Amino acid sequence: MNKVKYLLTYRYAEIIHDLTVEFTKAYLMGNLSTLRNLSNLSQKADYRQVDQMNQAARSGKQNIVEGVGQSQTSKSGEIKLLGVSEASFEELLSDFEDFLRQNKLEIYPKTDPRVTKFRQTAFRLSHLSNLSDLGNLIEKPKLPGSPQDDANFLLTLCHQETYLLDKQIKAATEKFAKEGGVREKLFITRKKYRGY
């Protein structure tokens, strides 16, 4: 079993990735009749923005996978890739803020009760996987249903993800500072072997 799928950062990243694809299909690539029904949204599909948002969400998730995969052989590589993941989610966070601002939609403050509800929903979704079969979520993540709520839900998820990644990076950095990396451990082992 791949240990990365047990990480909360990975679970949030997977939810963000899936929902970003759904969001961009609904609001940035939707057919013109769908977009016209959303009176204050742009009426043209923005393929470049869709690609960039989907790639940022994918990059964030995949860099967690690659970083954690390197954790046994390169602690500095792990820290670097987790930092790339965090930067990808920061980029995506900015895209959702831009979407809301450019379409004259409200960005909910973090004290808003809707944000509290979004956090609770995200927490529940991130903990629903059956640990014996992590690939099948009991409840499929879905967007709340309006452009404003959907963008704010994803914005909330991105804020949570960057917070969790920051904690994960700090923990990995602290472990590296205390224990050193693989090269240092191999050097110490070799010195002991040679009797130094």
Residue pLDDT tens, the chain, 196 long: 477 888 999 999 999 999 999 999 989 886 544 444 455 555 567 788 999 999 999 999 999 999 998 877 788 889 999 999 999 999 999 999 999 999 999 999 999 999 999 999 888 888 765 434 334 443 456 676 789 999 999 999 999 999 999 999 999 999 888 877 666 666 666 667 777 7
Domain coverage including residue 148? 3-194
| Residue 58, number of CB atoms within 10 A of its CB | 16
Contact between 25 and 19 (Cβ < 8 Å): no
Q: So what's the pLDDT on residue 139? A: 47
| Residue 68, number of CB atoms within 10 A of its CB | 23
Q: So what's the pLDDT on residue 183? A: 65
From 59, 109, 66, select the one nearest 89 (Cα to Cα): 59
DSSP string, 34-54: HHHHSTTS-SS--HHHHHHHH
Contact between 60 and 88 (Cβ < 8 Å): yes
The total domain count for the chain is: 1
Residue 104 zone, left/alpha/beta (φ > 0; ψ -120 to 50; rest): left
Q: So what's the pLDDT on residue 179? A: 78
